[in-house]
A = this chain, B = another copy of it.
């Protein structure tokens, strides 16, 4: 049974009016949409490092989060490391889940679908023979990534599927994983 509610009566906590306003603004003035996201990474010893996120560029100006976010990365004891943080490959899965779920909430708000709960499990198959240099024919990256959503919402199963499909269609991290991006690495010896 489809029980889609008028978007004025649902509240998923997303300010869709603002997002639609931003879309209009960026359509008129494309320069406003050109963002540069930033992170820093500092080695703390062994495979342990700390990532920090605070400033970014966008809307034709320097911008800042309201606070700095920090993320420790490390390897687990199974690799004789200290497990001071998740592995970088797990952090990629965290980013994918966060991106798709943020999209689900935004699209649900726009479509007038009240969400009750959204949960996802994200799994990635990874033959580590590549990164260890055990087999030159094995790539360093995952072979497959599987995301499984369980969504409880005031909508039919078909509308819920369409909701997640639309989030996937507009997801930056989904696109980053499924398509190639140019990455350059420069080094200064100090």
Residues of A within 8 A of B (CB): 12-15, 18-19, 22-24, 26-27, 30, 33-43, 45-49, 51, 53, 56, 58-59, 63, 65-67, 69, 71, 73-83, 85-102, 104-106, 115, 117-135, 138-153, 155-157, 160-161, 164-165, 168, 170-190
Contacts and interface: CB of A to CB of B under 8 A. Distances in A.
15 contacts: A15-B81, A19-B132, A40-B122, A41-B122, A53-B93, A65-B86, A74-B102, A89-B99, A91-B91, A91-B95, A131-B171, A142-B176, A142-B181, A147-B186, A178-B183
A80 B15 CA distance: 6
Nearest to A158: B189
Given A58-B128, A117-B43, A129-B27, A66 B71 contact: no
A119 B40 contact: yes
B41 A119 contact: yes
A104 B24 CA distance: 44
Interface of A is mostly: mixed
Given A131-B170, A142-B176, 4 more contacts: A26-B132, A33-B134, A41-B97, A91-B91
Contact of A184 (B48, B80, B140, B144): B144
A187 B149 contact: yes
B99 A88 contact: yes
A81 to B, nearest CB: 7
A43 B125 contact: no
Interface centre among A133, A161, A172 (most CB of B within 10 A): A172
A37 B71 contact: no
Interface centre among A78, A94, A149 (most CB of B within 10 A): A94
A181 B93 CA distance: 13
B85 A69 contact: yes
